Every structure is written in structure tokens, then in C-alpha cells.
Amino acid sequence: MEKKPKAGLIAVIGALALALFILHPILPDPAHVAIGHPMVDTWNHVWGFWQVGQSLAEGRSPLHTELMRWPDGGSLWFIDLFNAIWTLPVQWLAGPVAAYNVALLGNLTLAGVAAWALARRVSGSDAAAILAGVSYEAMPHLLGQLYDGISESVSVGWLPLALLAMLRFRERPDVRRGAAAGMALAICALSNWYYGLFAGLAACALVVDALRPGWRRAAVRRRLLVPVAAASAAIPALLAFRGTLSASDALVVRDPEFVGRTLVGHNMVDLFSFFHPGDFHSPDLSALFDEEMIVVVYLGWTLLAAAAFGLPRARAWAAGAVLSFTLALGAYLYLDGAYVTLPGRGWLPMPFLFLFEQLPLFSPISHAFRFVVLTQLCLGVMGACGVVALSRRLRVHEGWVAVALSVLFLGEVTLASPARFPLPTSAAAAPAVYGTIEGEGAILDLPVSVQVLARSRYNLYQLQHGRPVPYGLNDPTPPYLYANPLTRRVIALERSAVDSMAPAPPAFEIALGRAALRRDGFAAVVVHTSLYPPEQRQRVLVFLSVALGEGRQEGDRVVFELP
């Protein structure tokens, strides 16, 4: 007699199928087409995979690079280092785009399986847990992060695994389970510092739980195994990460003023966004900052309804959902496109503000809305419990109820939520012009003043030509370009609103700038003429022709070589 397939195997197959459905636009050519909008963070992240692979293949540390901010280079912890490392074999075989896509596929599959396993543990039902797996793997927020090309945010699967390991440890607090829970928490942190913080909050609750009256000291000591094991694995990496941020040559800086300004001026999230279906984005980053980036925190009414039925059986998870939802609202309450103001007192503060100001672990957080991941996970577990309750009330098998609600949820997400579906793609195609540049040396791509996220296309081109560039990751204007009198003049021409040419700079100044570019190892200046408005294009080309000699036209690009 044939044995039925195990529930776990079915969950893996189902999660993989759902991941392939989500990522289907890249399936015809996953080695050359990446998931994510080309004008957001996609190429920044693919570049990071490539930089880590290049460094390790050559026996160098990936924590420093000279490929960016040439001629000095700098310290950099690539924010998705975890995924870049485990996909190294894929990159060395098929390239960084393939590695990036495989990381997305693996993390989406893990998300579905891990959320299913956690919900099965809580609800006691293999079938009911299907809703948790589907709603977590296909959550609108995750689709929004895929749209933005933010690969480390897709590592959501380690969070439910860490919570599951802690639940197992709570049931039987022995050394083996404590070490396993600690390691799961550490991996969660290494894959994404935000999700490590979320799991860390659960670990703190686990230790506090052991302090209840009647618990023996041994039980308290055993529960301390979880944070101790996690810290021993994650703290060295955390110190290295913080070291790259505080280094004098840091390519990415997270000073408190920048974090606070970004938290309230760019990364705020509207309370309505959690519940408003349709193409609703508040704030509208495209209108405010001319960015293609979108922030999606929509929870889904199908899941909320199922979670309501599970409330009596999952009160602890409801508390987690309320807490994380409150923190996801950020520092101040933002409603209907504006901050809520108290008469005579300014903006209405939220609980996150107190934690941000008082706790070191919260002070680097500039994306409070990412707490929605924990909210979605808690709602998924509640939804699984709700499926059990509904099936008993309707006298229908749990599997049918779970599948029906999962289909409804997928329909709501793909057809009626603010998430964009199908997801956009970015083709890894670089202009042939770079192959015509003779000799070795760095490349200066122009314009400088293109929108910062859209400038990630220069990172894509670097994947092809492999030469250093003066730009950094999300760096508005590299200091080097301001210091050089020739490039400083180019920046002024780009940003001028005057139609006519500015007075010609002294010939000596031009000669100094040209000599500095050659001395600092620049091989060529590549002007992407299609990125300029007509009047700016003419001004820049005329000036560069005077300063560097006649350029060579290559399609819609002009190359000025510096032999």
C-alpha cells in the first residue's frame, strides 16, 4: 500500500510553486533578467552580489571595495551579505543576476514553509496552516519590496523559523533546543537586522516568561541560553557591520540626524495604507521625491477576517499583531497624507518614538513600517486558528476552508491591493560603448544629477565593464567630483536653469581638472545624452569638447577618452 506524501513535503512543493508564480516574469531568462524595477534599488542589490563574489573569488575581504567612490574606495557592509554568500556557487556558475534571482526564489519558498510550520504548531492543523503559509509568502509588503529590488527584505522566512524554535524550547527547555533557538535567532539577524530585532523581542518575552512565580532558577538559566547562543553568533558580524558604518571611509553612513530625518521625512506610512485597497500610496514617493519606489503595508481584508475568527484561540499572537502594528506606524501618526497635529503640541507621537529615543537597538531604524512583517506573521497564525474555528462551525474540512481563503487572499493581493502584479523586471544589458574604451582605468558616467536611485543603472553598466566608478551607493554627489574643478563645472552646468552657457572658466582651471582626472586613473568620461534635457545636453557637450577634446559618438552616448 502506497504511503501518502508527508505534509511537510506538500508544503515545500506548494511554497515553491507559489514562489515561481510570483517570480514568473523572469523565468524565461533568469540569468539576465532580474525581478524589480530598474529605476529603484534592483541594480544596487545585484551589484552587491557581484561585488561580494568578485572579492571572495580574488581572496579579498568583501568589507572594502575600490570599485566605488574611486579613487579612494571605502568600507562597505553589503546589506544583503548573507544571501550573497550562500548563493556564491550560483553566481560563479551563472552570474550575479542568477544569484540574485535564486536568493529571491529560495527566500520566498522558505517564507511559505516556515510560516506554515509555525502556524501548524500553534493551530494543531496541517491543513489550516496553509493560509498562514500563503498569506506570509505572498504578503503585499513583500511584493512591494520585490518591486523595489530590496533583496534582503525578502529574507522573511527566518523569522517564523526562529519563533518556532523558541516555541519548541519553551515546551522543553533543554540545552539542545536552547542552542537551536539561539542559532535560529542569529541567522535571522544575519539575514536582516530588522527581522533579528523582531525575533529578539520574542526572545526577551521568552526570558521574562521564565521569571513568573513558581519557575525554578534552572528554568531561568536555561532560557538565557537563547539570547546567549544568538549573541555569540551574531555579535561579531554586528560589530563588523557597525565598524563599516563608523569608518572614516564609510561608503554608507547612518548618522542619527540622517536616520531621524529619513524616518519622518521619507519613510512615514499612512494609517489608511494598511487597510485601503486599490492603487493607494500615501505618501506618494513619486510625486514628492520623483522616485519609482513604493511602500506597501496593506494587510488584506481576507486575512483580517480569518484572524478575527482565530482570536479566542490565539490571544498571544493577537497581542503581537497589535504591538507590531503600533510600531509599524512610526514615530508620529500619519493620516490621509499628513501628520496628525495636536493643538499647541505639534505632531502626535507614537510609541515607536519613545523606543527610538531611548533604546540603542531602535535608534538606527529608519524604516519603522517593516514591523508590518511581524504583524502579517501574527495575523497568519491567527488566521490558521480561524480556519480551524470556521471549519468546525461550517462542518467543512479544514483543507477546503484554508484553500478557499488562500485563493481569496491571493486574488485580493494580486488584483485589489496597492502591490503591483505582475512584478516588473530589469534586463541586464549594458551599452556596447564600454567595450570600445582603450586601456585600463575608471569610468565617469554623466549626468551626475540624475535621480539617485535611477543612477543605479551605472552599477549595472559596471557589472559589464568591471572598472571603478566615482559614485557610491545612494550617494547624491561624490565629494571627489566637487573637488575637481572640471567636474565641478559640469555639475554646475547640469543644475543651472539658465539656457545660455555660463562664462568660460579659466583655461588653467580646465587644465588642472583634466590633469587630475588622468592622474587619478580615469580612462574615460561617458555622457549618456538621452538622460539630459536638450539644453543641458548641449551645454555639457560643448564644455567637455573644449576641456577634453572632441568626443566619439556611440549611439546616444558620447565618449571622451583620457589617454
181 and 83 within one domain: yes
Q: Is residue 20 part of a domain?
A: yes
367 and 233 within one domain: yes
Q: Is the pLDDT of residue 157 over 90?
A: yes
Q: Report CA torsion sign: 457, 431, 425, 54.
A: negative
Tell me phi and psi for residue 65, to 5 degrees. Answer: -145, 145
Closest CA to 197 of 374, 323, 315: 374
The mean pLDDT of 19-36, rounded to a whole number, is 98
Cα separation of 345 and 341, whole Å?
Answer: 7
More confident position, 2 or 514: 514
Least confident of 75-89, 266-280, 523-537: 523-537
Per 3-state DSSP, the chain is made up of helix, strand and coil in percentages (nearest 5) of 60, 5, 30
One-letter amino acid for residue 325 of the chain: F
The mean pLDDT of 436-448, rounded to a whole number, is 93
472 and 391 within one domain: no
Q: Is residue 131 part of a domain?
A: yes
348 and 223 within one domain: yes
How many CB atoms are closer than 10 A to CB 495?
12
End-to-end CA distance of the chain: 77
Measured CA to CA in angstroms, residue 32 lies from 41, 190, 375, 428 at distances of: 17, 27, 35, 5
Q: Is the pLDDT of residue 558 over 80?
A: yes
31 and 130 within one domain: yes
More confident position, 172 or 518: 518
The mean pLDDT of 474-478, rounded to a whole number, is 80
More confident position, 88 or 255: 88
* pLDDT tens-place string over residues 309-361: 999 999 999 999 999 999 999 999 999 999 999 998 899 999 999 999 999 88
Q: Is the pLDDT of residue 27 over 70?
A: yes
Confidence class of residue 67 from pLDDT cuts 50, 70 and 90? very high
Counting residues of the chain whose pLDDT is more than 70, the rounded percentage is 93
Q: Is the pLDDT of residue 102 over 70?
A: yes
Cα separation of 255 and 470, whole Å?
Answer: 22
Confidence class of residue 534 from pLDDT cuts 50, 70 and 90? confident
What range does the domain containing 455 cover? 432-561
310 and 285 within one domain: yes
How many CB atoms are closer than 10 A to CB 136?
31
Q: Is residue 74 part of a domain?
A: yes
Least confident of 210-224, 493-507, 523-537: 210-224
Residue tagged 552570474 (cell numbers): 95
If one counts the domains in the chain, the total is: 2
Q: Is residue 425 part of a domain?
A: no
Tell me the average pLDDT of the chain: 91
The answer to whether 134 touches 18, Cβ cutoff 8 Å, is: yes
284 and 167 within one domain: yes
β-strand 442-446 against 522-528: which pairing, if any? parallel
Q: Is residue 7 part of a domain?
A: no
Q: Which residues pair with 335 in a beta bridge?
A: 338
363 and 474 within one domain: no
Q: Is the pLDDT of residue 96 over 90?
A: yes
Least confident of 22-36, 207-221, 305-319, 427-441: 207-221
Confidence class of residue 500 from pLDDT cuts 50, 70 and 90? low
Query: What is the chain's alpha carbon radius of gyration, rounded to the nearest angstrom?
Result: 26
* 3-state SS string for 407-426: HHHHHHHHHHCCCCCCCCEE
Q: Is the pLDDT of residue 408 over 90?
A: yes
Angle at 482 between CA 476 and CA 488, to 5 degrees: 110
Measured CA to CA in angstroms, residue 317 lies from 42, 200, 203, 307 at distances of: 34, 16, 15, 10
171 and 320 within one domain: yes
**What is the pLDDT at residue 256?**
82
Q: Is residue 395 part of a domain?
A: yes
DSSP label at 2? P
Q: Is residue 527 part of a domain?
A: yes
**What is the pLDDT at residue 220?**
57
Q: Is the pLDDT of residue 1 over 70?
A: no
* pLDDT tens-place string over residues 201-247: 888 877 666 555 555 555 556 666 667 777 777 888 888 998 888 89
Cα separation of 40 and 33, whole Å?
Answer: 15
400 and 348 within one domain: yes
451 and 411 within one domain: no
The mean pLDDT of 371-381, rounded to a whole number, is 98
Q: Is residue 218 part of a domain?
A: yes
Measured CA to CA in angstroms, residue 160 lies from 122, 307, 380 at distances of: 12, 17, 11
534 and 401 within one domain: no
